[in-house]
Amino acid sequence: MKVIGHLINGKLTHSDTSPQQSRLQDLTNPSTNEVIGRVALASKATVEEAIAAAEAAYPTWRNLPTAKRVRIMYRLRDLLEENADKICELITQEHGKVLNDAMGELQRGIENIEYVCSAPEMLKGEHSKNVGPAIDSWSEFQPLGVCAGITPFNFPAMVPLWMWPMAIACGNTFILKPSERTPSCALFIAELGIEAGIPAGVLNVVNGDKEAVDTLLTDRRIQAASFVGSTPIAEYVYTTGTARGKRVQAFGGAKNHAIVMPDADLDNAVAALMGAAYGSCGERCMAISVAVAVGDDTANTLVAKLQAQIAQLKVGDGMDNQNDMGPLVTKAHLNKVQGLITAGIEEGAELVVDGRNLKVPGYENGNYLGACLFDRVTAEMHIHSCEIFGPVLCVMRVDTMQEAMDIINNHEYGNGTCLFTRDGEAARYFSDNIKVGMVGINVPLPVPVAHHSFGGWKRSLFGDLHAYGPDSVRFYTKRKTITQRWPASGVREGIQFSFPSNS
């Protein structure tokens, strides 16, 4: 049985620094719940070994010309494309998402690599000549040092590629701690990075649990940490890291609403909602989990059309691209989502489509849950306030767009949202006044492209800078401004006690 270990100082290791402390956790295939491997959980000592390797590699790496660092990114992009099928199989084996969905995730990661290749332009700084008498001033962006990334189970390829490629392109070294539920993909991509030319120690991967996370957050040698996961853990990561002087960005949970206006093209809106709500079994932080219908006529038609489409959904093993939706990641998460569905019924919501009794022939032990649809959900219900992270779409009914916007603006999360309409005035008002970080107009998953930045508002993000795009350059660098003067030789100057200015 395979053991997924760590990548430290350019070498794979399947055991802990101290063999007597080695801990292994079963890795299961969510389609069958069969054990397909074991993942090593790093001890504090193992994480510290990775940090030491990154710290030792930093002085040489930071002084390597940016263009040479970027050439490695070009080679990595090619290797990712050449190994795309294998990467997607690893994603599907451990997460469960359908292969086509895994390929879309990987492609988004590759697009981020392509953006990283423009690092020489983004790092070139600014220069001003003669800001004062014979005085020049310029600013430059310098790397921070050793950085860390802690990534979630649901995007094992894309989210790590949000982080470490830009970090190392900017001259930092990096420790990646992927989810212990889906570790193989991130480790394999890191190996491709080594094959592309990343020197030993520049990129390290440690698999682990809270012990590894806490070591990264408290070790003084780590200068910055990026995290993606649930809001309670994001808040913990942010407060723990910043309390120790680290730069931290921590992306938390979401409850993404789509408002459906009476003038919307309902057939297109339903098609969009199906993919946004049930794609990847709803295990996306940008999934649309609430559709707010303006007017009962709109709601009645919307629910009827959604029911018809749900009846055609194909659910099964993610290795079969004929399926639309695979299993949830673990049996424990399946039980959690089923419990929330039961709670919704008890609160008074109307479960118009119940996917809890779904059986997939040949995969009876898998973590399968059919698409579920609630109607007449209210803002006070727990299924509306919490992030379900499963194939559950809630329909709410309101009388006006403003009422719908108030529901969204009053929610603790502010990750993504969408408005379906044909009214340009309504769309402009919505975009300008909604308190959410990423907004779509007739676009249900408004995930920014690689040359923009990703991030929500409110309790969906702790920190000021968003992920990837221009913000990532600012996150992984610090600005230094140099002011320089060369007095003419032989000229004596008087003492000045006033604050320097050009007046």
Catalytic residue set: 285
- The count of other CB atoms within 10 Å of the CB of residue 345 is 13
Contact 359, 381 (CB under 8 A): no
CA gap 460, 252 in Å, rounded? 4
End-to-end CA distance of the chain: 75
Residue type, 91: I
Q: Is 59 exposed, middle or buried (0-12, 13-18, 19+ CB in 10 A)?
A: exposed
* Residues 109-134 as b or e (16 or more Cβ within 10 Å = b): bbbbbebbbebeebbeeeeeeeeeee
Closest Cα partner for 212 from 438, 61, 78, 50? 50
Closest Cα partner for 148 from 123, 169, 107, 177? 177
Rounded to 10°, the helix 210-218/231-242 angle is 30
CA gap 393, 290 in Å, rounded? 6
DSSP β-bridge partners for residue 467: 454
Residue 430, both tokens: 């919505």
Closest Cα partner for 424 from 397, 411, 442? 442
CA gap 187, 398 in Å, rounded? 47
Q: What angle do CA 364, 368, 374 make, to 5 degrees?
A: 140
Tell me the Cα Rg of the chain: 25
The Cα-based distances of 413 to 99, 197, 252 in angstroms read: 30, 40, 9
SS (H, E, C) 210-260: HHHHHHHHHCCCEEEEEEECCHHHHHHHHHHHHCCCCEEEEECCCCEEEEE
Rounded to 10°, the helix 44-62/210-218 angle is 40
CA gap 74, 78 in Å, rounded? 7
Contact 163, 152 (CB under 8 A): no
Residue type, 268: N
Contact 227, 233 (CB under 8 A): yes
Contact 234, 250 (CB under 8 A): yes
Q: Which residues contact 195 (CB under 8 A, 6 or more apart)?
A: 79
